[in-house]
Amino acid sequence: MRVIKDIHELIEIRKNLHGKVGFVPTMGALHKGHLSLIEQSKKQNDVTIVSIFVNPTQFLEGEDFEKYPRKDVADMDICKRMDVDILFMPNHKDIYFEDEVCIKAPKNKSYILEGYKRPTHFDGVLRVVLKLFHLIKPNVAYFGKKDAQQLYLIKKMVLDLFLDIKIVAVDTVREESGLALSSRNEYLSHEDRKKALLISESLKHCAKSIMKGIFRVDILKAEMFDILKPLDIEYVEFVDRDFNTIESVQKQNSIVLVAVKVGTTRLIDNLWI
């Protein structure tokens, strides 16, 4: 595995890569969710490139950018064991420039849900992903369904900007308890972790209700709110796969999304119906 920190070195090496290139962008503190993306890329491509970059522009003032878990040494070791071909770990100053040209996330779908209380979050996400796409020039890029709105917006960016990159959506990896893996789970105390299980419990309950034939969103939402009551609920929303809000669930075309705070930690999860 080659670890590359310098963007010019990456550009040179990329010129000489042959075959299909798969790309897995991450912010590090790698867990089994990330590994599932890497595994898929390894299976489907000749070369797999993983990036680790804690992207400052997607954090808002006062968010956890400074304290976001950084585990470069352990992450390098994991990538090596996964037989990643290139691990790209750029510096902030090489990625961003003063008064630079930058992309704006679409108005309607970026300022709802994850973007409602974090209005510039998706501008930052698309900005860095587009830069990484230009540097790495992947044929295929892998994103988790756990960040469903991010996945939708990245697919939209690829379409809107005519990028020739296939986006592969990877299922959410969970602990046996049901808790979706996330780098931010590290912030959870033992007690918080137990409380956080209510998130996946509420999603499972929702799935059961739908199986019983309940499709009305107001009823499903009320049931989920009841389960999530002990937590600080930011939103429970139902959307179609284009992120339009819906009043009735349609199988194969709906997503239920949850954002809560457990203690001081903000967690998100979802279920694709």
Q: Residue 204 to residues 197, 251, 260: CA-CA distances in angstroms?
A: 11, 15, 16
Q: Residue 230 to residues 120, 174, 198: CA-CA distances in angstroms?
A: 29, 22, 9
Applying CB under 6 A, does 255 fall inside the site for ligand AMP? no
In the complex, minimum distance from the CB of residue 35 to ligand AMP, in angstroms, rounded to a whole number? 9
Measure the CA–CA gap between 33 and 36, rounded to whole angstroms. Answer: 5
Known catalytic residue: 8? no
Q: Which residue has the tokens 């998100």?
A: 268
Residues 6+ apart with CB under 8 A from 85: 1, 2, 47, 48, 49
Applying CB under 6 A, does 144 fall inside the site for ligand AMP? yes
Applying CB under 6 A, does 182 fall inside the site for ligand AMP? yes
Applying CB under 6 A, does 143 fall inside the site for ligand AMP? yes
DSSP code, position 189: -
In the complex, minimum distance from the CB of residue 148 to ligand AMP, in angstroms, rounded to a whole number? 8
What does the angle CA 234 – CA 269 – CA 48 come to, to the nearest 5 degrees?
135
Binding range to ligand AMP, per CB under 6 A, among 41-49, 172-180, 185-193, 254-262: 172-180
Question: Residue 132: how many CB atoms within 10 A of its CB?
Answer: 22
Q: Residue 11 to residues 7, 93, 171: CA-CA distances in angstroms?
A: 6, 16, 31
Interface residue with ligand AMP, options 173, 206, 231, 259 (CB under 6 A): 173
Q: Which residue has the tokens 């299922």?
A: 171
Active site residue: 8, 18, 34, 134, which one?
A: 34
Binding range to ligand AMP, per CB under 6 A, among 11-19, 32-40, 85-93, 250-258: 32-40
DSSP code, position 183: G
Measure the CA–CA gap between 4 and 82, rounded to whole angstroms. Answer: 17
Number of residues binding to ligand AMP, judged by CB under 6 A: 17
Which parts of 218-237 interact with ligand AMP (CB under 6 A)?
A: none
In the complex, minimum distance from the CB of residue 173 to ligand AMP, in angstroms, rounded to a whole number? 4
Binding range to ligand AMP, per CB under 6 A, among 9-17, 99-107, 142-150, 208-216: 142-150
Applying CB under 6 A, does 50 fall inside the site for ligand AMP? no
Nearer residue to ligand AMP within complex by CB, 147 or 234 = 147
Nearer residue to ligand AMP within complex by CB, 78 or 181 = 181
What the block records as the tokens of 62 is: 């006062």
Interface residue with ligand AMP, options 10, 23, 34, 131 (CB under 6 A): 34
Alpha-helix residue ranges (DSSP H) falling in the chain? 7-15, 32-44, 72-81, 92-95, 107-110, 121-136, 148-160, 190-211, 217-228
Nearer residue to ligand AMP within complex by CB, 31 or 221 = 31
Catalytic residues: 34
List residues near ligand AMP by CB under 6 A. Answer: 26-27, 33-34, 36-37, 143-144, 146-147, 170, 172-173, 180-183
